[in-house]
A and B are shown apart, each in its own frame.
Chain A
Amino acid sequence: MAVQSFGRTVSGTIRMALAAAAIAGGLTGPALAQDKVLNAVPYADLRNLDPVWTTAIITRHHAYMIYDTLFAMNSKLEPKPQMIGDYSISDDGMSYSFTLRDGLKFHNGDPVTTADVIASITRWEARDNAGGALANATESLTAVDDKTFELKLASPFGLVLDTLAGLSGPFIMPEAVAQTDPFEQVKDYTGSGPFVFNEAEWVPGNKVVYDKFEDYVPRDEPADGAAGGKVVKVDRVVWSYLPDPATALAALQTGEIDFWEAPPADLLPVVEANPDTEAGVLDPFGLIVILRPNHLYPPFDKKEARQAMMYAVKQSDYMTAMVGNPDYWQECPSLMMCNTPMETSAGGGEIMLDSDMDKAKELMSSVYDGETVIVMHPTDHPSGPTALLTADLLRQMGVKVELQAMDWATLTSRRSSKNAPDDGGWSIFHTRTGVGSASPISHSGVAAGETAWFGWPQNEEVEALRAKWAAEPDQAKRFAIMEELETLMMDTAPFVMLGQITSPSAWRSNVSGMLSSPVLGFWNIEVE
């Protein structure tokens, strides 16, 4: 109360003094712009602008602002046409014909043509996992004319539309830009999406500005996830990077920002208690949290040790340590993301829900030979607490553990080392992965061949089932293959599922139209 009265006193006195000073001195700044501006704080700072060059999610957010996609996932993860107007599939499923819809233009006024599309797909296929799988199955990708192109398959691939609608692209760039080496950043940020990147006002580490693209032609359907009509209802979107959560919270409370993508869980009660602010989950799928062992070195080169980890973990412990509030996490007895079509507990994924330490010790002792297990502990990453729990479980199993604290940047570098754990390598790391883990093709943890992710599992059966799954066009048959794959993976334990989390966002009460989507889109949003 005393603070409030102090505040009022200060407010009255100083406000008058400052106003008087400003008027008397003629010091007021330029007139306020009349544009409708949405001030947002994304979860991270945008540093790289090329969604092919990096897999960073913040760059994907940026890509959805300025680029358009051929297809897009709706809120149920179903692929829907976006830049494509009409398309047809041959009866044998080996040939696809796509026609671009009318009115598509780049930000520089040039029309979008099939030459742009083919160059963009080609560049994206060179880097994207799912795109690479499509490229391997493709016989030819050719332009019929400026608006129509054809894709002919060399081998069956049932995921053509899903892949083209993938959350990580392909994003359509002008042909000249898309001809950039996929391992170099593009330097021209011309897209055909609903917003134009304002390069002149970009301050890396601080601010990104997007202007409404006046010539953008939205689809007629209502917006749904990343699909549907992207109707822009503001003139500008400004992303400000506020690294300090307390500052972001205060800025949201005073109305200096309208939207905050990822407030920490401990600040949500403040947001919810304030009548001017609201919180809610926009990405209904969220992230799965996984434990990844290094398959190259003992003891995790043997499946018994990896299985021991599956028996040892109790997902609710991990989720409580990492998130806390049970509104924002759930157990997941599947190695694929839960609440998605491929979720299955075939193979007995329930063992990861509750700890069976006796079984875990039995399995571990059958293969453990006294090696020191190095658990990488990223102290600046949300997955940090999971490393502490894993280290504790390993100690309970009688394993010699070295918990090595490091920052996330160091972890991402260290995990690429194939050296032995005591020679700069590692044994275990933990991470989070998004809706890409709804498919065994794009799920980083599943691949078990030449393209295997860090940890490098090798299993020809897994690879054969992945290929079979990708080739199957029928959803029911695909799910049956998935159950077979899940059962195999529960035996080989390429990684351990630790649970699934959602991240709430916060916004001012005068902001409406947020979409339920794994993609953060700023179309459809209104600011009163």
Chain B
Amino acid sequence: MLGYILRRLLATIPVLFVVSVLIFMLLHLGPSDPAAVIAGDFAQPEDVEKIRIQLGLDRPLYIQFGDWILGVLQGDLGSSIYSDMQVSALMMQRIEPTLSLTITTISFAILVGVPAGTFAAWRAGSLFDRGVMMTAVMGFSLPVFVLGYVLVYLFALKAQILPVQGYKPISGGLWPWLRSLILPTLSLGMIYVALIARMTRASVIEILGNDYIRTARSKGLSTPPILIFHALKNAAIPIVTTIGVGIAMLISGVVVTETVFALPGLGRLTVDAIVRKDYPVIQAMLLVFTVAYVLINLLVDLSYSLFDPRIKYQK
């Protein structure tokens, strides 16, 4: 197992290098120039040039890349061209909202999606099953921002029980933290509820047709243990894969939710940096997202052996 983990981790090094080169080249080959953005609308052309030189953007690309990659290897992700703050400090400011939203959303999605999907599978073809599937289709189809606005209208503007926007850190109290995340979690979570419910239903239906389920029933086991310990456990691998992919997508893909609810998370940090061509921030964020994807996928792969003892990771 340890050897397998090490091999997987080592395999990420070339992936990260290729990603780094691609990110760097794509960014620097684009037509935008952060020096012009920084200088502002009314700057003189020569001022733009001087800022470009001061930022080192006039140097050959391979030198800029070499400097950056050397810094990364030493744990220095660089500084924002605009705010002059260390990228690592910017990330630390933004990581809590994103992790919070990821945790609440994925928890909400699992707590609702897995039981709903399992129950729908058990009662396949019933009114409940059709209801769950219809809701799942709606969950997929409704854009996050539309659901977000509807929820804001109902719960913030009309009922006035939840805030429209903003994030309260958990250090300020559990309830204010949770309260600031309820609407973002609901609007973002619907897609994942739908995804997990559909995947769970499909997997459990397949499992319920197996001989050992019939055996379990014939030996007198009641439905709940059959569903939980026999069906769900054996259907877990595709469900866990879906959840893992969901977490990875959430870490980097919550931009719309963060924008609608003005949450200062990593998604918005990345998009703002892209809009302004803040190269060090973009490069660092995409690198971090790549590492997160790789690690989450590794964890998902490792978790398979928990659900299916037949799966063993050889040296």
A residues with CB within 8 A of B: 3-4, 6-8, 10-11, 14-15, 18, 21-22, 25, 27-30, 45, 47-49, 53-57, 59, 127, 129, 181, 183-185, 187, 203-207, 240-244, 246-247, 250-251, 253-254, 256, 380, 406-407, 409-410, 412-416, 424, 431-433, 436, 444, 451, 453-454, 456
Contact = CB atoms under 8 A, between A and B. Distances in A.
B54 A184 contact: yes
A428 B153 CA distance: 43
Interface string B96-136: 00000000000000000000000000000000000000000
Contacts of A454: 45
Contacts of B159: 7-8, 10-11, 14-15
Nearest to B172: A29
Secondary structure call for the B interface: helix
B44 A453 contact: yes
A250 B84 contact: no
B254 interface: no
B13 interface: no
Interface residues of B, number: 65
Interface string B76-95: 00001011110000100110
B42 interface: yes
A274 to B, nearest CB: 10
Interface in B258-277: 259-262, 264, 268-269, 272, 275-277
Contact of A11 (B50, B93, B160): B160
Given A205-B268, A243-B259, A431-B41, A22 B175 contact: yes
A45 B31 contact: no
Given A48-B82, A184-B54, A244-B262, A253 B173 contact: no
Nearest to B272: A205
Contact of A29 (B33, B154, B176, B269): B176
B291 interface: no
A485 to B, nearest CB: 19
Contact of B260 (A21, A244, A253): A244
6 contacts: A6-B154, A127-B47, A247-B261, A407-B275, A412-B37, A453-B42
A253 to B, nearest CB: 6
A454 B42 CA distance: 9
Contact of B48 (A15, A380, A416, A433): A416
Contact of A413 (B32, B163, B164, B168): B32
A410 B83 contact: no
A407 B41 contact: no
B163 A204 contact: no
B54 A183 contact: yes
A256 B31 contact: no
Interface string B39-63: 1111111011111001000000000
B73 interface: no
B262 A247 contact: yes
Given A14-B159, A247-B164, A256-B165, A203 B47 contact: no
Contacts of A181: 54
A433 B175 contact: no
Nearest to B264: A206
A433 B155 contact: no
B40 A56 contact: yes
A247 B165 contact: yes
A48 B94 CA distance: 18
Counting from the closest, the 10 A-B pairs by CB-CB distance are A29-B173, A7-B158, A55-B40, A413-B33, A206-B264, A27-B175, A11-B159, A29-B176, A47-B82, A412-B36
Given A251-B166, A456-B45, 18 more contacts: A8-B159, A11-B160, A14-B161, A18-B179, A49-B83, A56-B38, A127-B47, A206-B264, A242-B262, A244-B259, A253-B157, A254-B156, A254-B157, A254-B160, A409-B32, A413-B35, A444-B42, A454-B45
